[in-house]
Amino acid sequence: MTSAANLCRQTNLILFTMAPEKMMFIDPHIHMTSRTTDDYARMQEAGIVAIIEPSFWLGQPRTEIGSFKDYFSSLLGWERFRASQFGIKHYCTIGLNSKEANNEALAEQVMELLPLFVLKEGVVGVGEIGYDDQTAAEDKYYRLQLDLAKEVGLPVQIHTPHRDKKAGTIRSMKVAMEHGIKPHMVIVDHNNEETVKDTLDGGFWAAFTIYPNSKMGNERMVEIVKQYGTERIIVNSSADWGVSDPLSVPKTASLMLERGIPAEDVRMVCYQNALDAFGQSGQMNESDWLQPANVDQRDKFQDNSVLRGGQTPVVGEFKTRNELKENIVK
């Protein structure tokens, strides 16, 4: 890259930090249980103010109901505390993921556990649920959880399958409608160019995962927003224990601005739409982070701290710099 091109790119990133309004971002799908405190610090510095952590599998199947109970408890306890120590508001969705729905004996026990968690503070939906291999067991527990979401009045966060995606996405939406779930209460995740039109035409929220060298690079995301606009479109990272990028949302916002998408449109897909969709839970409000409590890393959760001996705690307010070294996610 030439020095002139480098200067142009640096200027674009500076413009990102000097946008007319201070950019704030929500990452409405990220698995922070598997991420580090360094990630939290970088996310905060890049302007992420709130995150949603969907319940998912941990890379290998769980074998006991106690592991689900402890996992759900950690999303509501330790992980929320850990995020708060870096000035980020943490929410979650609770559900039985599609991969582990195929262990029916264990799935039955999880279904008995879910009502104990879905109405707890900070739970903004039932999720992520849906299909993986589109088996009979996955269908059974997806439907049962749709009924639970309808009963408690929470949004549904759908995981669409990575194989046979178009058919699986259409099926996911059709089944939700069969169970009386209104489209505006359903966030359909992991969309791509093949599924976006069906999702939007159905009145559902269309979420897109910006995942390195996989589901959707952010240059493709720019083109989708140019083609379809911003209504009901949501950007997330789905960063987890695999190769992924917890800065995918601010990087995508920066690239959109660089490619000529208006700042207000960027705000919609990287902030406001996620708030509108999951705010229907009654658990997520903008005032939660606009009027935050000061960070005090001397605090502890059940006698545990994010710090180790000799480390200097942050006390007061984190300074968000909205800084990125680069903004492309291939």
pLDDT at 21: 46
Helix, strand, coil percent content, the chain, rounded in steps of 5: 45, 15, 40
Chain-centre distance of CA 221, in angstroms? 16
pLDDT at 200: 99
pLDDT at 294: 74
Chain-centre distance of CA 10, in angstroms? 28
DSSP H or E stretch at residue 91:
strand 89-94
Task: Please return the burial class of 323, using the count of CB atoms within 10 Å of its CB with bins 0-12, 13-18 and 19+.
Answer: middle
Whole-angstrom distance, CA of residue 324 vs CA of residue 14:
9
Bridge partners, residue 129, by sequence: 158
pLDDT at 310: 67
- Count of all residues that appear for the chain in the document: 330
Which tokens hold the place of 99? 């991969």
DSSP H or E stretch at residue 117:
none
DSSP H or E stretch at residue 330:
none
Helix (H, G, I), strand (E, B) or coil at 94: strand
Beta pairing class for 25-27 and 48-54: parallel
Q: Do 259 and 253 form a contact (C-beta atoms < 8 A)?
A: no
pLDDT at 211: 82
pLDDT at 125: 99
Helix (H, G, I), strand (E, B) or coil at 312: coil
Whole-angstrom distance, CA of residue 105 vs CA of residue 232:
37
pLDDT at 254: 95
- pLDDT block averages, 10 residues each, the chain of length 330: 42 43 89 92 94 94 96 96 94 98 98 98 98 97 99 98 94 98 98 97 98 83 98 94 90 96 97 99 95 70 61 67 64
Which of 219, 212, 240, 193 lies closest to 55 in space, CA to CA? Answer: 240
Amino acid at 12: N
User: Hey, what domains does the chain have and what are their CATH numbers?
Assistant: 23-297 (3.20.20.140)
Q: What is the pTM of this model?
A: 0.88
Amino acid at 153: G
Helix (H, G, I), strand (E, B) or coil at 153: coil
Q: Which residues of 301-311 are buried (b: 16+ CB within 10 A; e: fewer)?
A: eeeebbeeeee
Q: Do 266 and 253 form a contact (C-beta atoms < 8 A)?
A: yes
Whole-angstrom distance, CA of residue 53 vs CA of residue 93:
6
Q: Helix H segments across 114-217?
A: 136-152, 165-178, 196-201
Helix (H, G, I), strand (E, B) or coil at 292: coil
Whole-angstrom distance, CA of residue 145 vs CA of residue 130:
9
